[in-house]
Homo-oligomer: A and B are copies of this chain.
């Protein structure tokens, strides 16, 4: 993004600065956007900026960001003491507040009241329906869900889901803005519990838990089959793309040939929801701690994951899907 282009753009606002909100700050500022930050809890907001400073310092230390770029990025971020000052003149608001309907509704009343007239009001919610959050709001037409994958400054996919009142123009502007940030917006047409991504994740996790609970394999076996097996393909192709590559005639031939095998297999899956009771959580957590080491190692594992995902994305953009 050129400086002239960045100057001509209106600012954006990040409201709510937990783990997701702070990551969004980096997404916007890295893409050249003036990023205004507000959190009703000023200590949390300060912590988010401290995290940003530390994360960027790491990037400089690893040589993936220049000192100049780091300074420029941080200069684009400003902390605001109240909502009206954070929201004045913005083009887009990314809200990442608590996941309770009444709380979200109260936040959206405030956002709608204070945000510049044409600003899009987007929510990071992973669970709530914008039709209900924005119900009765004067500006319901500019409210939309933009649900990222944690952490959005590393993982690009964002689920975009309009509410019943959201205008098509707001959908288009949201997708365009997210794309300009380097994110991958995915438009959903209809609300479903968990949207799409977390439903697919839950389907796999349910089967993963069942494989351990029923004694087919252990925690490490499940994880190895994903990270050394299915995950290597899914980092490049989704389930339909993978199926398409499994027969010379593509998905059509593959499903025609193996449809009945799939039916048999799907019918054999255990449809029961795991209990998540103490004994189950203890068994799975003990296995996972044996595999991953002490919880004190988690920050190191996440730093490694983020580093490798970035390198993987560089690989993919350097050798794009034919």
Taking Cβ atoms with an 8 Å cutoff, the residues of A that contact B are 127, 149-150, 154-157, 159, 184, 186-190, 192-208, 211, 214-219, 221-241, 243-246, 248-252, 255-256, 259-269, 271, 273-274, 276, 281-282, 284-285, 287-289, 291-292, 295, 297-298, 300-302, 304-305, 307-309, 311-313, 315-316, 319, 321-322
> CB distance B205 to A157 under 8 Å?
no
Which B residues are in CB contact (< 8 Å) with A313? 232
> CB distance B207 to A190 under 8 Å?
no
> CB distance A230 to B199 under 8 Å?
no
Rounded to whole angstroms, the CA-CA distance of A221 and B193 in the bound complex is 17
> CB distance B268 to A271 under 8 Å?
no
Rounded to whole angstroms, the CA-CA distance of A204 and B202 in the bound complex is 9
Check A285/B225 contact, CB under 8 A, given A236-B305, A245-B305, A304-B322.
Answer: no
Nearest CB of chain B from residue A183's CB, rounded to whole Å:
9
> CB distance A230 to B192 under 8 Å?
no
Check A248/B298 contact, CB under 8 A, given A236-B305, A236-B308, A305-B237.
Answer: yes
Q: How many copies does the complex hold?
A: 2
Shortest Cβ distance from A255 into B: residue: B281
> CB distance B240 to A155 under 8 Å?
no
Rounded to whole angstroms, the CA-CA distance of A319 and B310 in the bound complex is 13
Which B residues are in CB contact (< 8 Å) with A265? 193-194, 198-199, 202
> CB distance A266 to B230 under 8 Å?
no
Nearest CB of chain B from residue A307's CB, rounded to whole Å:
7
Shortest Cβ distance from A250 into B: residue: B295
> CB distance B217 to A149 under 8 Å?
no
List of 4 A-B pairs having minimum Cβ-Cβ separation, nearest first: A223-B238, A157-B229, A259-B276, A231-B234
> CB distance B319 to A239 under 8 Å?
no
Write 12 A-B pairs (CB below 8 A) sorted by A numbering.
A200-B230, A201-B239, A202-B262, A206-B269, A226-B238, A235-B235, A240-B284, A244-B288, A256-B281, A259-B276, A267-B273, A301-B321
> CB distance A217 to B308 under 8 Å?
no
Rounded to whole angstroms, the CA-CA distance of A202 and B249 in the bound complex is 21
Listed residue (A197, A201, A261) with the most chain B CB atoms within 10 angstroms of its CB = A201
Which B residues are in CB contact (< 8 Å) with A297? 322
- Can you name 6 extra interface pairs (CB under 8 A) apart from A157-B229, A235-B312? A127-B261, A155-B228, A196-B221, A202-B266, A240-B284, A250-B295
Q: A238 contacts which of B208, B240, B269, B276 (Cβ < 8 Å)?
A: B208
Which B residues are in CB contact (< 8 Å) with A256? 281
Rounded to whole angstroms, the CA-CA distance of A27 and B258 in the bound complex is 26
Which B residues are in CB contact (< 8 Å) with A203? 203-204, 206-207, 269
Which B residues are in CB contact (< 8 Å) with A298? 244-245, 248, 250
Which B residues are in CB contact (< 8 Å) with A291? 240-241
Which B residues are in CB contact (< 8 Å) with A260? 276
Which B residues are in CB contact (< 8 Å) with A127? 261
Which B residues are in CB contact (< 8 Å) with A186? 217, 221, 224-225, 228
